[in-house]
Structure 1
Amino acid sequence: MDHVMPLLVETLFGFFVLFVVTKVLGKTQIRQLTAFDFIAALILGELVGNALFDDEYGLFEIGFAVFLWGALLYITEIITQKFKRTRALFEGKPTIIIHKGKLQREAMAKSKLDINQLQHLLRAKGAFSVTEVDYAVLETDGTVSVLKKSLDQNPSRKDFNLMEEKVTLSMTLVCDGEIFLDNLSEANLDQQWLDNELKKQKINSIKDVFYAEYKEGEALHVQAY
Protein backbone atom coordinates (compact mmCIF):
# COMPACT_ATOMS: atom_id res chain seq x y z
CA MET A 1 0.00 0.00 0.00
CA ASP A 2 2.93 2.33 0.59
CA HIS A 3 3.71 2.29 -3.13
CA VAL A 4 0.12 2.74 -4.32
CA MET A 5 -0.22 6.45 -3.68
CA PRO A 6 3.11 7.47 -5.30
CA LEU A 7 2.30 5.25 -8.29
CA LEU A 8 -1.16 6.83 -8.59
CA VAL A 9 0.30 10.33 -8.48
CA GLU A 10 3.00 9.48 -11.04
CA THR A 11 0.47 7.81 -13.35
CA LEU A 12 -1.86 10.80 -13.27
CA PHE A 13 1.07 13.13 -13.81
CA GLY A 14 2.34 11.04 -16.74
CA PHE A 15 -1.13 11.04 -18.27
CA PHE A 16 -1.40 14.80 -17.91
CA VAL A 17 2.06 15.38 -19.38
CA LEU A 18 1.38 13.14 -22.41
CA PHE A 19 -1.98 14.87 -22.92
CA VAL A 20 -0.34 18.31 -22.93
CA VAL A 21 2.42 17.21 -25.31
CA THR A 22 -0.11 15.66 -27.69
CA LYS A 23 -2.21 18.83 -27.72
CA VAL A 24 0.85 20.98 -28.37
CA LEU A 25 2.10 18.79 -31.23
CA GLY A 26 -1.29 18.92 -32.93
CA LYS A 27 -3.78 16.48 -34.44
CA THR A 28 -1.50 15.57 -37.33
CA GLN A 29 0.49 13.39 -34.94
CA ILE A 30 -2.59 11.17 -34.65
CA ARG A 31 -4.38 11.41 -37.98
CA GLN A 32 -1.27 11.37 -40.19
CA LEU A 33 0.95 8.88 -38.42
CA THR A 34 4.17 8.63 -40.42
CA ALA A 35 6.96 6.19 -39.59
CA PHE A 36 8.76 8.95 -37.68
CA ASP A 37 5.60 9.80 -35.71
CA PHE A 38 5.03 6.12 -34.90
CA ILE A 39 8.52 5.77 -33.44
CA ALA A 40 8.08 9.01 -31.52
CA ALA A 41 4.80 7.80 -30.01
CA LEU A 42 6.41 4.52 -28.94
CA ILE A 43 9.31 6.32 -27.27
CA LEU A 44 6.98 8.74 -25.45
CA GLY A 45 5.01 5.83 -24.04
CA GLU A 46 8.19 3.95 -23.14
CA LEU A 47 9.62 6.97 -21.31
CA VAL A 48 6.54 7.31 -19.14
CA GLY A 49 6.18 3.57 -18.60
CA ASN A 50 9.79 3.09 -17.50
CA ALA A 51 9.65 6.08 -15.19
CA LEU A 52 6.45 4.90 -13.51
CA PHE A 53 7.85 1.52 -12.51
CA ASP A 54 11.38 2.58 -11.64
CA ASP A 55 11.80 3.65 -8.03
CA GLU A 56 14.76 5.86 -8.91
CA TYR A 57 12.62 8.21 -10.98
CA GLY A 58 9.97 10.60 -9.74
CA LEU A 59 7.70 13.31 -11.07
CA PHE A 60 10.57 15.56 -12.11
CA GLU A 61 12.25 12.84 -14.16
CA ILE A 62 8.96 11.89 -15.87
CA GLY A 63 8.18 15.49 -16.73
CA PHE A 64 11.70 16.26 -17.89
CA ALA A 65 11.95 13.20 -20.17
CA VAL A 66 8.54 13.69 -21.77
CA PHE A 67 8.83 17.44 -22.23
CA LEU A 68 12.36 17.10 -23.65
CA TRP A 69 11.20 14.54 -26.20
CA GLY A 70 8.08 16.61 -26.91
CA ALA A 71 10.26 19.68 -27.49
CA LEU A 72 12.39 17.75 -29.99
CA LEU A 73 9.25 16.64 -31.85
CA TYR A 74 7.87 20.17 -31.84
CA ILE A 75 11.13 21.54 -33.22
CA THR A 76 11.05 18.87 -35.92
CA GLU A 77 7.53 19.93 -36.89
CA ILE A 78 8.63 23.57 -37.14
CA ILE A 79 11.63 22.59 -39.28
CA THR A 80 9.47 20.61 -41.73
CA GLN A 81 7.06 23.55 -42.01
CA LYS A 82 9.79 26.12 -42.61
CA PHE A 83 12.11 24.07 -44.81
CA LYS A 84 10.30 22.02 -47.45
CA ARG A 85 13.36 19.95 -48.38
CA THR A 86 13.39 18.36 -44.91
CA ARG A 87 9.88 16.93 -45.29
CA ALA A 88 11.04 13.99 -47.38
CA LEU A 89 13.58 13.09 -44.68
CA PHE A 90 11.23 13.25 -41.69
CA GLU A 91 7.82 12.54 -43.26
CA GLY A 92 8.66 10.56 -46.39
CA LYS A 93 7.18 11.10 -49.85
CA PRO A 94 4.01 9.76 -51.47
CA THR A 95 4.69 7.01 -54.02
CA ILE A 96 2.71 6.28 -57.17
CA ILE A 97 2.09 2.51 -57.19
CA ILE A 98 -0.48 2.38 -60.01
CA HIS A 99 0.08 4.65 -63.00
CA LYS A 100 -2.46 4.71 -65.83
CA GLY A 101 -3.78 1.34 -64.71
CA LYS A 102 -0.34 -0.28 -64.54
CA LEU A 103 1.24 -1.60 -61.37
CA GLN A 104 4.57 0.05 -60.66
CA ARG A 105 6.59 -2.98 -59.59
CA GLU A 106 9.79 -1.12 -58.67
CA ALA A 107 7.90 1.45 -56.59
CA MET A 108 6.04 -1.34 -54.78
CA ALA A 109 9.26 -3.20 -54.05
CA LYS A 110 10.91 -0.02 -52.77
CA SER A 111 7.93 0.60 -50.47
CA LYS A 112 7.96 -3.07 -49.29
CA LEU A 113 4.40 -3.46 -50.58
CA ASP A 114 3.25 -6.77 -52.03
CA ILE A 115 0.17 -7.58 -54.11
CA ASN A 116 -1.88 -8.89 -51.19
CA GLN A 117 -1.25 -5.76 -49.13
CA LEU A 118 -2.10 -3.55 -52.09
CA GLN A 119 -5.36 -5.40 -52.74
CA HIS A 120 -6.31 -4.96 -49.09
CA LEU A 121 -5.66 -1.21 -49.26
CA LEU A 122 -7.59 -0.89 -52.53
CA ARG A 123 -10.60 -2.77 -51.13
CA ALA A 124 -10.63 -0.33 -48.20
CA LYS A 125 -11.13 2.40 -50.83
CA GLY A 126 -13.94 0.52 -52.57
CA ALA A 127 -11.81 -0.79 -55.45
CA PHE A 128 -12.17 -4.57 -55.57
CA SER A 129 -10.12 -4.95 -58.73
CA VAL A 130 -6.85 -3.48 -59.95
CA THR A 131 -8.53 -2.96 -63.33
CA GLU A 132 -10.86 -0.38 -61.75
CA VAL A 133 -7.96 1.87 -60.75
CA ASP A 134 -6.34 4.49 -62.96
CA TYR A 135 -3.98 5.93 -60.34
CA ALA A 136 -3.09 4.86 -56.81
CA VAL A 137 -0.74 6.71 -54.48
CA LEU A 138 0.79 5.24 -51.34
CA GLU A 139 0.71 8.06 -48.81
CA THR A 140 3.31 8.69 -46.11
CA ASP A 141 0.97 7.35 -43.40
CA GLY A 142 0.57 4.00 -45.18
CA THR A 143 -2.88 4.61 -46.66
CA VAL A 144 -3.64 4.59 -50.38
CA SER A 145 -5.37 7.34 -52.35
CA VAL A 146 -7.23 5.97 -55.36
CA LEU A 147 -8.47 7.53 -58.61
CA LYS A 148 -10.80 5.07 -60.29
CA LYS A 149 -11.21 4.76 -64.03
CA SER A 150 -14.28 6.34 -65.57
CA LEU A 151 -16.61 4.21 -67.70
CA ASP A 152 -15.04 5.74 -70.81
CA GLN A 153 -11.63 4.52 -69.64
CA ASN A 154 -12.90 1.03 -68.84
CA PRO A 155 -14.69 -0.25 -71.97
CA SER A 156 -15.18 -3.73 -70.54
CA ARG A 157 -17.70 -2.24 -68.08
CA LYS A 158 -19.16 0.46 -70.28
CA ASP A 159 -21.76 -1.66 -72.03
CA PHE A 160 -23.28 -3.02 -68.82
CA ASN A 161 -26.49 -1.67 -67.39
CA LEU A 162 -25.09 -0.56 -64.04
CA MET A 163 -28.43 -0.98 -62.30
CA GLU A 164 -28.68 -4.62 -63.34
CA GLU A 165 -25.00 -5.58 -63.39
CA LYS A 166 -24.17 -8.85 -61.66
CA VAL A 167 -21.75 -8.26 -58.83
CA THR A 168 -18.67 -10.45 -59.15
CA LEU A 169 -15.33 -10.24 -57.41
CA SER A 170 -12.02 -10.39 -59.20
CA MET A 171 -9.57 -13.22 -58.50
CA THR A 172 -5.80 -13.19 -58.54
CA LEU A 173 -4.68 -16.07 -60.75
CA VAL A 174 -0.96 -15.30 -61.01
CA CYS A 175 1.30 -13.27 -58.75
CA ASP A 176 5.08 -12.98 -59.06
CA GLY A 177 5.19 -15.80 -61.60
CA GLU A 178 3.25 -18.24 -59.38
CA ILE A 179 -0.20 -19.66 -60.17
CA PHE A 180 -2.88 -19.47 -57.48
CA LEU A 181 -4.36 -22.91 -58.09
CA ASP A 182 -7.12 -22.51 -55.49
CA ASN A 183 -8.43 -19.36 -57.20
CA LEU A 184 -8.14 -21.00 -60.60
CA SER A 185 -10.20 -23.96 -59.41
CA GLU A 186 -12.78 -21.74 -57.69
CA ALA A 187 -13.31 -19.89 -60.97
CA ASN A 188 -13.91 -23.28 -62.70
CA LEU A 189 -10.84 -22.75 -64.88
CA ASP A 190 -7.72 -24.82 -65.48
CA GLN A 191 -4.09 -24.18 -66.31
CA GLN A 192 -4.63 -25.00 -69.98
CA TRP A 193 -7.16 -22.15 -70.20
CA LEU A 194 -4.74 -19.85 -68.42
CA ASP A 195 -1.88 -20.77 -70.75
CA ASN A 196 -4.09 -20.11 -73.78
CA GLU A 197 -5.16 -16.71 -72.45
CA LEU A 198 -1.55 -15.75 -71.81
CA LYS A 199 -0.55 -16.82 -75.32
CA LYS A 200 -3.26 -14.54 -76.71
CA GLN A 201 -1.37 -11.71 -75.05
CA LYS A 202 1.97 -13.01 -76.40
CA ILE A 203 3.17 -14.35 -73.05
CA ASN A 204 4.62 -17.85 -73.27
CA SER A 205 5.60 -18.51 -69.66
CA ILE A 206 3.94 -18.09 -66.28
CA LYS A 207 7.31 -16.93 -64.95
CA ASP A 208 7.00 -13.82 -67.13
CA VAL A 209 3.77 -12.74 -65.40
CA PHE A 210 3.96 -10.24 -62.56
CA TYR A 211 0.20 -10.14 -62.01
CA ALA A 212 -2.87 -11.69 -63.63
CA GLU A 213 -6.44 -11.02 -62.52
CA TYR A 214 -9.66 -12.65 -63.67
CA LYS A 215 -13.21 -11.40 -63.45
CA GLU A 216 -16.17 -13.25 -64.92
CA GLY A 217 -17.35 -11.69 -68.16
CA GLU A 218 -14.16 -9.70 -68.69
CA ALA A 219 -10.87 -10.37 -70.43
CA LEU A 220 -7.95 -11.63 -68.35
CA HIS A 221 -5.99 -8.67 -67.01
CA VAL A 222 -2.27 -9.42 -67.28
CA GLN A 223 0.82 -7.42 -66.45
CA ALA A 224 4.19 -8.92 -67.36
CA TYR A 225 7.56 -8.15 -65.81
Structure 2
Amino acid sequence: MFFQSGPDIAHTLVVGALAYLALVAMLRLSGKRTLAKMNAFDFVVTVALGSTLATVLLSTDVSLLRGSIAIGLLVLLQFVVASLSTRSEAFQAVVKSRPRLLLEAGVMDRAAMREERVATEEMLAAVRGGGYARLEDVGYVVLETDGSFSVLPEGNAPPTALANVTGKGAQ
Protein backbone atom coordinates (compact mmCIF):
# COMPACT_ATOMS: atom_id res chain seq x y z
CA MET A 1 0.00 0.00 0.00
CA PHE A 2 2.75 2.47 0.92
CA PHE A 3 5.43 1.10 -1.36
CA GLN A 4 5.22 -0.13 -4.92
CA SER A 5 7.46 -2.56 -6.66
CA GLY A 6 10.89 -1.48 -7.89
CA PRO A 7 10.01 -1.64 -11.60
CA ASP A 8 6.98 0.66 -11.12
CA ILE A 9 9.10 3.23 -9.30
CA ALA A 10 11.87 2.96 -11.90
CA HIS A 11 9.28 3.42 -14.67
CA THR A 12 7.96 6.58 -13.01
CA LEU A 13 11.47 8.00 -12.56
CA VAL A 14 12.69 7.28 -16.09
CA VAL A 15 9.50 8.06 -17.99
CA GLY A 16 8.83 11.10 -15.79
CA ALA A 17 12.22 12.63 -16.50
CA LEU A 18 11.97 11.94 -20.23
CA ALA A 19 8.36 13.19 -20.47
CA TYR A 20 9.33 16.34 -18.60
CA LEU A 21 12.22 16.97 -21.00
CA ALA A 22 9.93 16.36 -23.98
CA LEU A 23 7.35 18.80 -22.60
CA VAL A 24 9.95 21.52 -21.96
CA ALA A 25 11.43 21.04 -25.44
CA MET A 26 8.02 21.27 -27.11
CA LEU A 27 7.06 24.37 -25.14
CA ARG A 28 10.36 26.05 -26.05
CA LEU A 29 9.85 25.20 -29.73
CA SER A 30 6.29 26.49 -29.77
CA GLY A 31 7.34 29.96 -28.60
CA LYS A 32 6.57 32.41 -25.84
CA ARG A 33 2.87 32.61 -26.71
CA THR A 34 2.28 29.12 -25.32
CA LEU A 35 3.36 30.31 -21.88
CA ALA A 36 1.72 33.74 -21.98
CA LYS A 37 -0.98 34.96 -19.63
CA MET A 38 -3.90 32.63 -19.96
CA ASN A 39 -7.27 33.14 -21.51
CA ALA A 40 -9.88 30.38 -21.36
CA PHE A 41 -8.38 28.41 -24.26
CA ASP A 42 -4.86 28.61 -22.80
CA PHE A 43 -6.20 27.41 -19.45
CA VAL A 44 -7.83 24.36 -21.07
CA VAL A 45 -4.59 23.50 -22.87
CA THR A 46 -2.59 23.90 -19.66
CA VAL A 47 -4.92 21.60 -17.72
CA ALA A 48 -4.86 19.05 -20.56
CA LEU A 49 -1.04 19.17 -20.66
CA GLY A 50 -0.88 18.57 -16.91
CA SER A 51 -3.35 15.71 -17.11
CA THR A 52 -1.49 14.12 -20.02
CA LEU A 53 1.86 14.44 -18.27
CA ALA A 54 0.40 12.90 -15.10
CA THR A 55 -1.01 9.99 -17.10
CA VAL A 56 2.36 9.38 -18.77
CA LEU A 57 4.10 9.54 -15.40
CA LEU A 58 1.80 7.24 -13.48
CA SER A 59 0.31 4.80 -15.97
CA THR A 60 2.33 1.91 -17.25
CA ASP A 61 -0.36 1.45 -19.92
CA VAL A 62 0.73 4.65 -21.73
CA SER A 63 4.10 4.58 -23.46
CA LEU A 64 6.47 7.52 -23.42
CA LEU A 65 6.11 7.85 -27.20
CA ARG A 66 2.32 7.86 -27.05
CA GLY A 67 2.34 10.42 -24.23
CA SER A 68 4.85 12.60 -26.07
CA ILE A 69 2.67 12.50 -29.17
CA ALA A 70 -0.36 13.55 -27.08
CA ILE A 71 1.61 16.41 -25.49
CA GLY A 72 2.93 17.42 -28.91
CA LEU A 73 -0.60 17.42 -30.31
CA LEU A 74 -1.84 19.73 -27.55
CA VAL A 75 1.10 22.10 -28.02
CA LEU A 76 0.58 22.06 -31.79
CA LEU A 77 -3.15 22.79 -31.43
CA GLN A 78 -2.41 25.68 -29.08
CA PHE A 79 0.16 27.02 -31.57
CA VAL A 80 -2.32 26.72 -34.46
CA VAL A 81 -5.12 28.44 -32.52
CA ALA A 82 -2.77 31.26 -31.43
CA SER A 83 -1.54 31.68 -35.02
CA LEU A 84 -5.05 31.72 -36.47
CA SER A 85 -6.12 34.21 -33.79
CA THR A 86 -3.47 36.66 -34.93
CA ARG A 87 -4.52 36.32 -38.58
CA SER A 88 -8.32 36.33 -38.28
CA GLU A 89 -10.42 38.58 -36.09
CA ALA A 90 -13.43 36.32 -36.64
CA PHE A 91 -11.49 33.29 -35.38
CA GLN A 92 -10.13 35.30 -32.47
CA ALA A 93 -13.67 36.28 -31.48
CA VAL A 94 -14.59 32.59 -31.25
CA VAL A 95 -11.71 31.53 -28.98
CA LYS A 96 -11.07 34.67 -26.94
CA SER A 97 -13.23 37.12 -25.07
CA ARG A 98 -12.97 40.85 -25.62
CA PRO A 99 -11.74 43.27 -22.97
CA ARG A 100 -14.57 45.06 -21.17
CA LEU A 101 -14.77 48.62 -19.87
CA LEU A 102 -15.97 48.56 -16.26
CA LEU A 103 -15.27 52.11 -15.13
CA GLU A 104 -15.03 55.37 -17.04
CA ALA A 105 -14.19 58.80 -15.61
CA GLY A 106 -14.55 57.52 -12.04
CA VAL A 107 -18.02 56.03 -12.60
CA MET A 108 -18.56 52.29 -12.34
CA ASP A 109 -20.65 50.63 -15.03
CA ARG A 110 -22.74 48.43 -12.73
CA ALA A 111 -24.44 46.60 -15.62
CA ALA A 112 -21.09 45.66 -17.15
CA MET A 113 -19.79 44.61 -13.74
CA ARG A 114 -22.86 42.36 -13.22
CA GLU A 115 -22.48 40.80 -16.67
CA GLU A 116 -18.77 40.12 -16.03
CA ARG A 117 -19.46 39.01 -12.44
CA VAL A 118 -17.13 41.60 -10.91
CA ALA A 119 -17.94 42.70 -7.36
CA THR A 120 -17.51 46.28 -6.20
CA GLU A 121 -14.83 45.09 -3.78
CA GLU A 122 -12.82 43.63 -6.69
CA MET A 123 -13.11 46.91 -8.59
CA LEU A 124 -11.95 48.90 -5.58
CA ALA A 125 -9.05 46.50 -5.04
CA ALA A 126 -8.00 46.94 -8.69
CA VAL A 127 -8.14 50.73 -8.32
CA ARG A 128 -6.05 50.59 -5.13
CA GLY A 129 -3.64 48.18 -6.84
CA GLY A 130 -3.24 50.76 -9.59
CA GLY A 131 -2.09 53.29 -6.98
CA TYR A 132 -5.29 55.32 -6.68
CA ALA A 133 -7.18 56.27 -3.53
CA ARG A 134 -10.10 58.00 -5.29
CA LEU A 135 -12.26 56.67 -8.11
CA GLU A 136 -12.46 60.21 -9.50
CA ASP A 137 -8.74 60.06 -10.36
CA VAL A 138 -9.20 56.96 -12.49
CA GLY A 139 -9.98 57.34 -16.18
CA TYR A 140 -10.75 53.74 -17.04
CA VAL A 141 -10.75 50.26 -15.55
CA VAL A 142 -10.71 47.48 -18.14
CA LEU A 143 -11.32 43.80 -17.44
CA GLU A 144 -8.78 42.18 -19.76
CA THR A 145 -9.20 38.93 -21.66
CA ASP A 146 -7.08 37.04 -19.12
CA GLY A 147 -9.22 38.24 -16.18
CA SER A 148 -6.78 40.88 -14.96
CA PHE A 149 -7.66 44.55 -14.51
CA SER A 150 -5.98 47.48 -16.25
CA VAL A 151 -6.35 50.77 -14.41
CA LEU A 152 -5.68 53.83 -16.54
CA PRO A 153 -5.39 57.41 -15.29
CA GLU A 154 -7.77 60.22 -16.12
CA GLY A 155 -6.26 62.24 -18.94
CA ASN A 156 -6.95 64.50 -21.86
CA ALA A 157 -5.41 62.29 -24.52
CA PRO A 158 -7.78 60.20 -26.67
CA PRO A 159 -7.95 56.60 -25.38
CA THR A 160 -6.41 54.86 -28.41
CA ALA A 161 -5.50 51.80 -26.32
CA LEU A 162 -9.21 51.24 -25.76
CA ALA A 163 -9.98 50.63 -29.43
CA ASN A 164 -10.87 46.95 -28.95
CA VAL A 165 -12.64 47.33 -25.60
CA THR A 166 -16.38 46.78 -25.43
CA GLY A 167 -18.33 49.37 -23.48
CA LYS A 168 -20.10 52.67 -23.76
CA GLY A 169 -17.04 54.92 -23.94
CA ALA A 170 -14.73 52.87 -26.12
CA GLN A 171 -14.22 53.84 -29.72
> Given the two structures, how large is their TM-score scaled by the length of structure 2?
0.79
Structure with the largest fraction of helix? 2
Q: Give the conservation status (yes or no) of the 8 Å contact 1:119–1:128.
A: no
Distance in 1 of aligned mates of 2:128 and 2:44 = 27
Following TM superposition, where does structure 1 have runs of at least 4 consecutive aligned residues deviating by more than 6 angstroms? none
**Larger Cα Rg: Structure 1 or Structure 2?**
1
Aligned length, in residue pairs: 150
Give percent identity, aligned residues only. 23
Partner residue of 1:116 out of 121, 146, 159: 121
Query: Structure 2 counterpart of 1:23, which letter?
Result: R
* Cα distance, 1:114 vs structure 2: 0.9
Identify the residue that residue 33 of structure 1 maps to in structure 2. 38
* Cα distance, 1:96 vs structure 2: 0.5
Query: Structure 2 counterpart of 1:48, which letter?
Result: L
* Cα distance, 1:43 vs structure 2: 0.9
Q: Give the conservation status (yes or no) of the 8 Å contact 2:19–2:68.
A: yes
Distance in 1 of aligned mates of 2:109 and 2:45 = 31
Relative to structure 1, the CA distance from residue 84 to residue 118 in structure 2 (aligned partners, 3 Å threshold; closer, same or farther) is: same
Identify the residue that residue 160 of structure 2 maps to in structure 1. none
Q: Give the conservation status (yes or no) of the 8 Å contact 1:97–1:107.
A: yes
Partner residue of 2:54 out of 39, 49, 53: 49
Q: Give the conservation status (yes or no) of the 8 Å contact 1:93–1:140.
A: yes
Q: Give the conservation status (yes or no) of the 8 Å contact 2:16–2:56.
A: no
Q: Give the conservation status (yes or no) of the 8 Å contact 2:142–2:151.
A: yes
Identify the residue that residue 133 of structure 2 maps to in structure 1. 128
* Cα distance, 1:5 vs structure 2: 2.1
Relative to structure 1, the CA distance from residue 128 to residue 38 in structure 2 (aligned partners, 3 Å threshold; closer, same or farther) is: farther
Structure with the largest fraction of strand? 1
Question: What pairs with 1:8-157 in structure 2 (closer than 5 Å)?
Answer: 8-149=13-154
Q: Secondary structure in 1 aligned to 2:152?
A: strand
Query: Structure 2 counterpart of 1:76, which letter?
Result: V
Identify the residue that residue 162 of structure 2 maps to in structure 1. none
Q: Secondary structure in 2 aligned to 1:142?
A: coil
Superposition CA RMSD, Å: 1.7
Q: Please list the CA deviations of residues 136-188 of structure 1 after superposition, one character each: whole Å capped at 9, or x if unmatched.
A: 111111121122236xxxxxxxxxxxxxxxxxxxxxxxxxxxxxxxxxxxxxx
Query: Structure 2 counterpart of 1:113, which letter?
Result: V
Q: Give the conservation status (yes or no) of the 8 Å contact 2:23–2:68.
A: no
